[in-house]
Amino acid sequence: MSYIKTPLIGLKADYFRHPLDLEATKALKQIPGIDMIVRNVLGPVAEQVFYVENIASSVLVGETQLPHLHKLLLEASQVLDLETPQLYVRQHPAPNAYTFAMRGKQPFIVLHTSLIDMLTLEEIQAVIAHELGHLKCDHSVYLTPVNLLILAAANVPSVGAVLAQAIQTQLLEWVRCAEFTCDRAALLATQNPKVVMSVLMKLAGGSPTLAGQLNLDAFIAQARAYDDISKTELGEMVKVARTAQLSHPVPVLRAREIDRWASSKEYQKLLQNSGIEYNIKTAPKGGWRNW
């Protein structure tokens, strides 16, 4: 069942930015020289390499090419009050999506076919909106070059492996915090927390054959149990050790954050100020599953 979503006219990134994202971004900008290296040294190289490689190996979505995906992109962009970027689909066995934008040039989003294959249309829109969140918050200025910076520092003597070791932990912390913000963007675009949490559930244990058999209510209960365990000293130590070298928070933690924010006054106020009338408690069990 689809329904019309009211655009969040005038939506600003700081209206929904996760507090951890705000803190991590400030800390990242304080690393000496990183802004100059990312924007002026690696930026032009990343821009050419990624754009050419992507356009040569992916399918550009449009009105006459996978129009159902194009429609999802247009709607999510409108709801988030954001200029519509390009969207590409790429054949790849690893479920993933990513965003690229540098130096004011045409930004684009890439969806892997294996991710599309295990999601409903609404869930695909949640993924698209998550990537739009990176653009809305200007994450992409750092997001793609960050990976190149780590790679270059580890392999090019002139940059130095010491730089990589010094900044890698802080960079990964920033990326993980940015993901929490973009999950919020996905919620604002879909206006249904169960859709966003269903995506995270499928990322944790889904496949084209298993996706339809997964129980979202059980996964939400799992997310809440994770929250309880993390409150203990040992649980917190295990959580920190588990996530220290990851580029994304674990899916169950992201689901817990969305579950929590969807019930917050902050989220409800954003919807109400935009004229959206949506009551989470009255949403159909399992979410709006049929498009």
SS3 54: helix
Higher pLDDT, 252 or 2: 252
CA–CA dist 190, 280 (Å, integer)? 12
CA–CA dist 289, 284 (Å, integer)? 9
CB proximity list for 262: less than 8 A, separation 6 or greater: 187, 193, 280
- Cβ neighbourhood burial of 248 (10 Å; 0-12, 13-18, 19+): middle
CA nearest neighbour of 134 among 184, 191, 204: 184
Is a pLDDT exceeding 90 seen at residue 196?
A: yes
Do residues 137 and 182 make contact, with C-beta atoms less than 8 angstroms apart? yes
CA nearest neighbour of 111 among 102, 63, 139, 121: 121
Tell me the per-residue pLDDT of 93-123, one tens digit each, with 9 for 90 and over: 989 998 887 655 678 899 999 999 999 999 9
**Length, in residues, of the chain:** 291
The residues that bridge with 90 in the sheet, in sequence order, are 112
Query: Which residue blocks in 66-160 are alpha helix, DSSP H?
Result: 67-79, 113-116, 121-136, 140-155
Largest CA distance in the chain: 59
Determine the pLDDT at residue 35. 62
Please give the positions annotated as active site.
131
Tell me the per-residue pLDDT of 43-89, one tens digit each, with 9 for 90 and over: 566 666 777 777 888 999 999 999 999 999 999 999 999 999 999 99
Instruction: Work out whether the CA dihedral 155, 159, 165, 170 comes out positive or negative.
Output: negative
